Amino acid sequence: MTSPTNRLAVVGAGPAGLAAALTAAHHNIAVTLIDSAPQPGGQFYRQPAAALGARRPQALHHAWRTWARLRDRLDAHVAAGRIRHLPGRHVWFVELLDRGFILRTLTADDEPEVFAADAVLLATGAYEKVLPFPGWTLPGVVTAGGAQAMLKGGLVLPGRMAVVAGSGPLLLPVATGLAAAGARLAALIEAADPRAYGRHARTLAAHPGKLAEAAGYAGRLLRHRVPVLTRHTVVAAHGTDRVEAVTVAALDADGRARPKTERRIACDTLAVGHGLLPHTDLAGALGCRTDPARVVVDAQQRTDVPGVWAAGEAAGVGGAALALAEGEIAGRSVVAHLTGERPRIRSTAATSRTALRKFAAALDAVHTPPAHWAEQVADDTLVCRCEDVTAGAVRHAVTELGAADLRTVKLLTRAGMGWCQGRVCGPGVAGVAGCPPETVRRPFARPVPLSVLARTPSPTEGRQE
Amino acid sequence: MIRRNPQDRPPNLPLDRAQDRPLDLVRARPGPSFTVTVDGRPVDALEGQSVAAVLWSAGTVAWRVTRDGRPRGAFCGIGVCFDCLITVNDRPNRRACLVAAASGDVIRTQRGEGHDDLAH
Ligand SMILES: Cc1cc2nc3c(=O)[nH]c(=O)nc-3n(C[C@H](O)[C@H](O)[C@H](O)COP(=O)(O)OP(=O)(O)OC[C@H]3O[C@@H](n4cnc5c(N)ncnc54)[C@H](O)[C@@H]3O)c2cc1C
Ligand code: FES
């Protein structure tokens, strides 16, 4: 059964999806806002469940006033019937019909539902990239964003003594969040060289707000007496049933671990990340162009498939402020498309999008993983966590079996064929194999029970509905 | 803020209330705790927490064993990695980081990650 056509369907209730939904609803477009999380907010504004009774949730957040405004406007539009907010539903497939779209969703209990729309905005955000190292599968080793998400959403910590490591701007809020919540921070290990910021001084200076935010994090790290090691990397995590310590080493100018600089740091938690990767599966299945790892959009956030927009980190990683600007622009473009009017993109939103993209590009250039990280991955280290495929097996596929691309490596080793469909191991396998990363086309955005697929009409049947 | 009775805790857990600190930070006033069982052992849970959050606050970070016998728990925390698979009320392969805990849940740690019945 298909529900009555709602004009705009927004997938994802993070900053980008919320900004777009609010903009469209403000212009009298009926919006269906579908999000897999139980609460709106996405990653940046992830909220604890109401039942946890947090009276001061802002203690774990930044830019809370912006969130409070978004939430109040969302509540008002929902009350007025202009936005239908559907939390707890994962869109696994968006189907293009002759006119309009069908969105197929599953609840947390795998209950299927179907929604129709005239236009679709993909605001699915990103997930974390983690490059493999010996010991990275030990319990207590978690992604940096994952530690943050469990803290903001569930008000829990994985342990008491944490090391935060990897590279990228996410490590700072994660470290300060864990410390504020009562974890002791044994160290913050960042692969980048802060002196590299000098090369981007002009871009950075154009964002006094962002610099103040960074300074705020630095101040909090000092206050919590967190030792910070830059141009360092975790070369191994140790333990049997859970992580008990990590070995870190300094990096040389080429990005190799320097011999004799290794030191062991005791911890029961390692929160690690090497940047973010956009969720592009729905766009890929719709036939939208992706550039290898983000949805390609034009100045109005339109994809190359008519009726489909993308905004926020799905269209390129750049943080919450950029996601808000892109969401607003996308919302206005959708309004123009559905009403036949000229798009009225606010020049302030366009200007801030340009500036924030430049800022994101500068951060991205500074925060690169160590150039030779793959050399530290011992042969017996798992690279594919789902299928238990070791680095040695991947290397064997390349050097002995002649695999020259990732597809062949996957067929020969099963790396990337498990539950996560290569989302977690993709960059690791590519690095260890020495192959360039490839765009992976996944038919669905999450595993779907066969019982649901069996009841799903094929796209042609769908068109006849 | 007191939500657990220290005497109720499994004896191997320290009593320094470390797991209450995030709740204190946001001045949480959760509802009364309820009990779930994990491999038959009673564990305190709060309404609004995922199964993974319940396990973390009980000091447990490992609850699955891979086919070759290695322990795993939550990794990505947002439903992407499938490392956190667990059996809840006889349904295997649930993502602990996404499933909300409910009173009386019978939670069992699981071995492997049976692929039956799913298409990717
Ligand atoms: C785990 C994690 C934690 C992070 N924590 C921070 C932080 O603390 N501070 C910080 O500055 N930045 C953080 N970030 C960076 C964050 O991505 C951006 O700050 C910002 O949230 C991006 O906004 P967005 O709207 O593009 O996407 P998001 O905020 O990621 O929102 C996307 C939403 O879409 C939903 N979704 C995705 N796919 C589907 C689907 N198929 N069907 C239905 N719903 C779907 C997601 O559940 C999510 O709610 C984090 C990133 C990650 C991955
Ligand atoms: S921790 Fe990754 S899916 Fe649950």
Q: Which residue of B25, B28, B77 is in closest CB contact with A180? A: B25
Q: How far is the CA of A280 from the centre of ligand 2 (A)?
A: 18
In terms of domains, do A160 and A233 share one? yes
> For residue A266, is pLDDT > 60?
yes
Considering the domain boundaries, does residue A336 fall inside one? yes
**Beta carbons of B82 and A420 less than 8 Å apart:** yes
Considering the domain boundaries, does residue A206 fall inside one? yes
In terms of domains, do A27 and A40 share one? yes
**Beta carbons of A108 and B99 less than 8 Å apart:** yes
Considering the domain boundaries, does residue A116 fall inside one? yes
pLDDT of residue A268: 97
Q: A59 to chain B: nearest residue by CA?
A: B26
Q: Which residue of B24, B100, B119 is in closest CB contact with A450? A: B119
Q: What is the pLDDT of residues A156-189, one digit of tens each?
A: 999 999 999 999 999 999 999 999 999 999 999 9
CB atoms within 10 A of CB A261: 13
- Best probe residue, ligand 1, of A11, A32, A39, A44 (max atoms within 8 Å of C-beta): A44
User: Which residues on B lie below 8 Å from A453 (Cβ)?
Assistant: 119
Determine the Cα–Cα distance for residues A193 and A196; give it in Å rounded to an integer. 6
> For residue A63, is pLDDT > 60?
yes
Say if CB A17 and CB A315 are below 8 A apart.
Answer: no
In terms of domains, do A217 and A140 share one? yes
In terms of domains, do A140 and A242 share one? yes
Asked if residue A178 has its Cβ within 6 Å of ligand 1, the reply is no
Ligand at shortest distance from the CA of B98: 2
The reported pTM is 0.93
Q: Encode chain A in three state secondary structure.
A: CCCCCEEEEEECCCHHHHHHHHHHHHCCCCEEEECCCCCCCCCCCCCCCHHHCECCHHHHCCCHHHHHHHHHHHHHHHHCCCEEEECCEEEEEEEECCCCEEEEEEECCCCEEEEEEEEEEECCCEEECCCCCCCCCCCCEEEHHHHHHHHHHHCCCCCCEEEEEECCCCHHHHHHHHHHCCCEEEEEEECCCHHHHHHHHHHHHCCHHHHHHHHHHHHHHHHCCCCEEECEEEEEEEECCCEEEEEEEEECCCCCECCCCCEEEECCEEEEECCEEECCHHHHHHCCCEECCEECCCCCCECCCCCEEECHHHHCCCCHHHHHHHHHHHHHHHHHHHHCCCCCCCHHHHHHHHHHHHHHHHHHHHCCCCCCHHHHCCCCCEEECCCCEEHHHHHHHHHCCCCCCHHHHHHHHCCCCCCCCCCCCHHHHHHHHCCCCCCCCCCCCCCEEHHHHHCCCCHHHHHCC
Atom of ligand 1 nearest to the CA of A105: 42
> For residue A343, is pLDDT > 80?
yes
Atom of ligand 2 nearest to the CA of B81: 2
Atom of ligand 2 nearest to the CA of B76: 2
Considering the domain boundaries, does residue A370 fall inside one? no
For the segment A292-306, the average pLDDT, to the nearest whole number, is 95
The domain that holds A177 is classified in CATH as 3.50.50.60
Determine the Cα–Cα distance for residues B32 and A137; give it in Å rounded to an integer. 35
Q: What is the pLDDT of residues A219-248, one digit of tens each?
A: 888 888 899 999 999 999 999 999 999 999
Considering the domain boundaries, does residue A338 fall inside one? yes
Query: Which of A248, A274, A300 is where one domain is finished?
Result: A274
For the segment A307-323, the average pLDDT, to the nearest whole number, is 97
pLDDT band at A460 (very low <50, low <70, confident <90, very high): very low
User: Which residues on B lie below 8 Å from A449 (Cβ)?
Assistant: 117-119
- Percentage of chain A modeled with pLDDT above 70: 97
> For residue B13, is pLDDT > 70?
no
In terms of domains, do A283 and A267 share one? no
pLDDT of residue A6: 57
Residue located via tokens 């691309």: A405
Query: A441 or B64: whose pLDDT is higher?
Result: B64
- Percentage of chain B modeled with pLDDT above 70: 78
Calculate the CA dihedral of residues A91, A95, A101, A106 and round it to 10 degrees. Answer: -20
In terms of domains, do A26 and A44 share one? yes
In terms of domains, do A332 and A233 share one? no
Task: Look up residue A260 and give its two tokens.
Answer: 């004799």
pLDDT of residue A4: 42
Considering the domain boundaries, does residue A447 fall inside one? no
pLDDT of residue B114: 52
Residue B20 DSSP code:
G
pLDDT of residue B17: 64
Say if CB B89 and CB B108 are below 8 A apart.
Answer: no
In terms of domains, do A294 and A262 share one? no
User: Which residues on A lie below 8 Å from B66 (Cβ)?
Assistant: 388
User: Which residues on A lie below 8 Å from B120 (Cβ)?
Assistant: 421, 442-444, 447-448
Considering the domain boundaries, does residue A251 fall inside one? yes
Phi and psi at residue A91, in whole multiples of 5°?
-80, 120
Which residues, at least 6 apart from A266, have a Cβ–Cβ distance to it below 8 Å? A161, A186, A244, A245
Determine the Cα–Cα distance for residues A31 and A73; give it in Å rounded to an integer. 13
Beta bridge partners of B38: B41, B107
User: Which residues on B lie below 8 Å from A147 (Cβ)?
Assistant: 77
> For residue A330, is pLDDT > 60?
yes
In terms of domains, do A135 and A249 share one? yes
In terms of domains, do A307 and A425 share one? no
The C-alpha of B61 sits at a distance from chain A's nearest C-alpha, in angstroms, of 6
Q: Which residue, B21, B49, B45, is CA-closest to B33? A: B45
pLDDT of residue A202: 83
> For residue B18, is pLDDT > 80?
no
Question: Count of domains in chain A?
Answer: 3
Q: How far is the CA of A131 from the centre of ligand 2 (A)?
A: 17
Q: Which amino acid is at A18?
A: L
Determine the Cα–Cα distance for residues B55 and B58; give it in Å rounded to an integer. 5
Which of B78, B90, B105, B118 should be substituted to probe chain A, the one whose Cβ sees the most A Cβ atoms within 10 Å? B78
Query: Which of A328, A345, A362 is where one domain is finished?
Result: A345
Atom of ligand 2 nearest to the CA of B98: 4
Q: How far is the CA of A112 from the centre of ligand 2 (A)?
A: 21
* Domains of chain B, earliest start first: 32-112 (3.10.20.440)
pLDDT of residue B79: 96
In terms of domains, do A284 and A265 share one? no
Asked if residue B71 has its Cβ within 6 Å of ligand 2, the reply is no
Considering the domain boundaries, does residue A364 fall inside one? no
In terms of domains, do A32 and A118 share one? yes
Q: What is the pLDDT of residues A406-459, one digit of tens each?
A: 999 999 999 999 999 999 999 999 999 998 877 778 888 888 888 888 888 765
> For residue A90, is pLDDT > 50?
yes
Task: Look up residue A8 and give its two tokens.
Answer: 């705009």
Q: Which residue of A52, A55, A151 is in closest CB contact with B48? A: A52
> Of all protein residues, whose CA lies closest to atom 53 belonging to ligand 1?
A127
Which residues, at least 6 apart from A366, have a Cβ–Cβ distance to it below 8 Å? A192, A193, A194, A196, A197, A200
**Domain range for residue A245?**
130-274
Query: Which of A230, A247, A274 is where one domain is finished?
Result: A274
